[in-house]
Structure 1
Amino acid sequence: MKGRGSLSGWVGFAVDAGLGVGFAAALAFQAYRLADSWGGAYWQFGCVAGAVVCGLALVRRRGRLWAAIAGLAVAAVALVVARLAGLPSEPGPAMALGLSVLVGSAVRVLPAWRAGAVAAGGGAVVAGGLLAAFVFSTGSVVAVLNGAAWLAALVAGLGPRLLTARRRAMAERVRRNERLELARELHDVVAHHITSIVLQAQAGQLLARKQPHTAEGSLADIEAAGSDALAATRRVVGLLRDATDNGNDKTHSAEQLGELVKRFDGHGLVVRLSLPDGESGWPPEVARTLYRVVQESLTNISRHAPNARHVTVTVTVARDQDAVRVQVVDDAPPGVTPYPHRGGYGLIGMRERVEALGGTLSVGPRRGAGWSVLATLPISTAASVSGRR
């Protein structure tokens, strides 16, 4: 960071040195032309006023707003004095160059309303010069030059300003997407594994009262679930620490989906899984989202529908082989919803995952009893999404 700051300082110094040379050349050219065309000492006032504005342009970094205000004030006073005293038109070329640097610099970095005020002040000076040239029919070339310099300053200031705003918006959008992805991952990890630990602990309490000799096995199951939760949490923390890892290298196969179902099967809940024949060969995004939909559905059933006894997880492939459908249904009694409308982010995260692949999600009660979650994931769209990533 120190080297970068030094480099920036040298660049700024080189720019100011170049501007100083340009200002000196403009002042010398202005003095020469005025002495040649007007004669006498008519060049002195304009060159002194121009030198003051150019000097303010060179020290603009110490206070861009006040430097711009002072430069515009000098230009406005010079315009009035030159007209009343019958001197050459102001602002002259050197002053116009200095004003363009002050206005462009202010428009580029100052807050919006201050930048607008400085730009408007520059426009007012240009308008005053044009009005004087029109009324007195003198100095029209100088007035046009001032207008061109002012427009160039606006372009030079607004261009980088808009580019910076665009980059900032893009960076914010990327950070927002990363926060949403990490929020979904944390929710999936914490809700799923903590629910598993709670279920194991509840089962362990029952076994401890009825079959004390089997309590050791329940404690081992709780320990295993806790270890899984710790490993999953470490993986998510690793995503936060490693910016080069987007977390999408992990795929979920049918075997892993079967292991997920086994963790919920038992302890009062019977879970059945139905998968299509043959290898899936689905894009990683599809397999991962399918896994998360099933995981979130089973977790919510365990947490919010304790009276449910049977759950069926069905995965099918559309006839055209271009979409995968997963449906999770339970037999919870009427009036019990495993997807509370308030205080939870599971359904929101599930819908975001599905819709990010161009899919659809339908969640609602079934006729008679139970709830259904149906997600449709297009394979071709997901493949293109994976390719872009």
Structure 2
Amino acid sequence: MHTTGRGAALTRVFGDTLLGLLLTFALLFTAAALAASWGGYSWVFGLCAGTVVCTLALLRRRHRFGVALGGLGVAAATVVVARLAGLPDEPAPAMALALAVLVASAVRALPTRQAAVVAGGGLVVVVGSWLATVPSVPEVTVIPIASAATWLAAVAAGLGGRLLVARREAAVERVRRDERLAVARELHDVVAHHITGMVVQAQAAQIVARRSPAEPGPLADSLAGIEAAGSEALTSLRRVVGLLRDDDASSVAPGPEALGTLVSRFEVRGGPAVQLRLPDDGAAWPPEVTTTVYRVVQEALTNIKRHAPHARLVTVHVSRTPDAVVIEVSDDGPPSPGLHAGGGYGLIGMRERVEALGGTLRAGPRPGAGWSVLVTLPLAGAEPR
């Protein structure tokens, strides 16, 4: 970050140096041309006024609005004085270039109202230059034409830079929002699953302790399950934190074989029996698909344990078609009171994961009893949209 900031500062210094050299050359060239064509000291006034505006252009970052207005004010006064005193037309090329820098900088960086004021001030100088020339010369000379051209170029450059900044800020905001959603999903999917197991084990331990206070064996097993679930939760949380801290780390992508371990852990922790069916072709899936399949099944099992405690059988069916992976998780238990009454983000996070890969999710009650979650994930070109 420090290196990037130092590089940007050096770039600004280099750019201002080139601009200073260009403005100096323009000032000297204009003064020499006026001395050769007008003679005498006709070039002195234009050189002094141009030097002031050019200096303000180099100081434009100090206070963009005030400096821009100051430069425009000096230019307007120069146009009037030159007309009344019979001096060469203003603004000269060096001053016009400096004004263009001030206007472009203000339009790009200032708030909309202030940017409009500066752009309007530049237009006033252009119109004033044209009005000052018309009474003495029948046709429009090169000075007002050059002033108008540089003003238009400055406004166009400022608006273009403003648009680029707005797009960059919008892209950064989208990335930040996506990262926040990803972090929220990971924390919910990884940690909440294990914590739910710990709660169920603690409840089982309390029931066992009340029914058989003289038999420590079952109670010890339940407590051991709580310890194991807590350890897994801490390990998962460390992994998620590591992913957040390491910019080069990639998300965990457990393969289909990890679903067997997930189901076994679900049954051991007091869940109903699970029938797991997996595709037997052994074909590899993209990492983002395998991760999503695992998280969908994990979240569905967690919801069953929370909301359908009386279910006797759960079916987890993962199949593959030529262009998609289909996951269906269903149970046969009646939902507990308050199911999906509000406040949960599991189904929302699951849907976001699926839709990010271009897939679809349908969740709802089954005919008769139970609940079903059906997810379809495309395999062809499975990139986030």
Q: TM-score, normalised by structure 1?
A: 0.88
Question: Following the alignment from structure 2 to structure 1, what is the Cα–Cα distance between the partners of residues 326 and 14?
Answer: 63
Cα distance 1:280–1:219, how it changes in 2: closer, same or farther (>3 A)? Answer: farther
Q: Match for 2:314 among 297, 311, 314? A: 311
Query: Partner of 1:252 in structure 2?
Result: 255
Query: Partner of 1:63 in structure 2?
Result: 63
Partner amino acid for 2:89? Answer: S
Shift of 1:305: 2.4
Q: How does 1:1-389 map to 2 (within 5 A)?
A: 9-134=9-134, 136=136, 137=138, 140-211=141-212, 212-213=215-216, 214-248=218-252, 250-254=253-257, 256-265=258-267, 267=270, 269-318=272-321, 321-333=322-334, 338=339, 340=340, 342-382=342-382, 385=383
What secondary structure does 2:172 align onto? helix
Summarize deviations over 1:232-272 as a string: whole Å, max 9, x none. 00100101111111214x32223x21221122226362322
- Computed over aligned residues only, the root mean square deviation of the Cα atoms, in angstroms, reads 2.6
Shift of 1:360: 0.9
Shift of 1:286: 2.0
Contact map agreement 1:294 1:328 (CA 8 A) in 2: yes
- Structure 1, 126-135 or 141-150: larger mean CA deviation: 126-135
Summarize deviations over 1:182-215 as a string: whole Å, max 9, x none. 2111000121001111111111122222343321
Summarize deviations over 1:132-171 as a string: whole Å, max 9, x none. 3345436620111112222332344344443333333323
- Structure 1, 7-16 or 75-84: larger mean CA deviation: 7-16
Partner amino acid for 1:21? Answer: L
Contact map agreement 1:79 1:91 (CA 8 A) in 2: yes
Partner amino acid for 2:109? Answer: V
Cα distance 1:126–1:304, how it changes in 2: closer, same or farther (>3 A)? Answer: same
The percentage of counterpart residues that share the same residue type is 57
Question: Following the alignment from structure 1 to structure 2, what is the Cα–Cα distance between the partners of residues 282 and 10?
Answer: 47
Contact map agreement 1:89 1:138 (CA 8 A) in 2: no
Contact map agreement 1:88 1:139 (CA 8 A) in 2: no
Question: Following the alignment from structure 2 to structure 1, what is the Cα–Cα distance between the partners of residues 256 and 20?
Answer: 68
Shift of 1:62: 2.3
Shift of 1:32: 2.9
Shift of 1:375: 0.6
Shift of 1:337: 6.7
Partner amino acid for 1:279? Answer: G
Q: TM-score, normalised by structure 2?
A: 0.89
Contact map agreement 1:89 1:139 (CA 8 A) in 2: no
What secondary structure does 1:326 align onto? strand
Cα distance 1:337–1:287, how it changes in 2: closer, same or farther (>3 A)? Answer: farther
Question: Following the alignment from structure 1 to structure 2, what is the Cα–Cα distance between the partners of residues 83 and 327?
Answer: 84
Structure 2 unaligned spans of 5+: none
Aligned residues: 380
What secondary structure does 2:330 align onto? strand
- Structure 1, 17-26 or 220-229: larger mean CA deviation: 17-26
What secondary structure does 2:303 align onto? helix
- Structure 1, 2-11 or 363-372: larger mean CA deviation: 2-11
What secondary structure does 1:344 align onto? coil
Shift of 1:336: 5.0
Partner amino acid for 2:124? Answer: A
Cα distance 1:264–1:334, how it changes in 2: closer, same or farther (>3 A)? Answer: closer
Cα distance 1:140–1:293, how it changes in 2: closer, same or farther (>3 A)? Answer: same
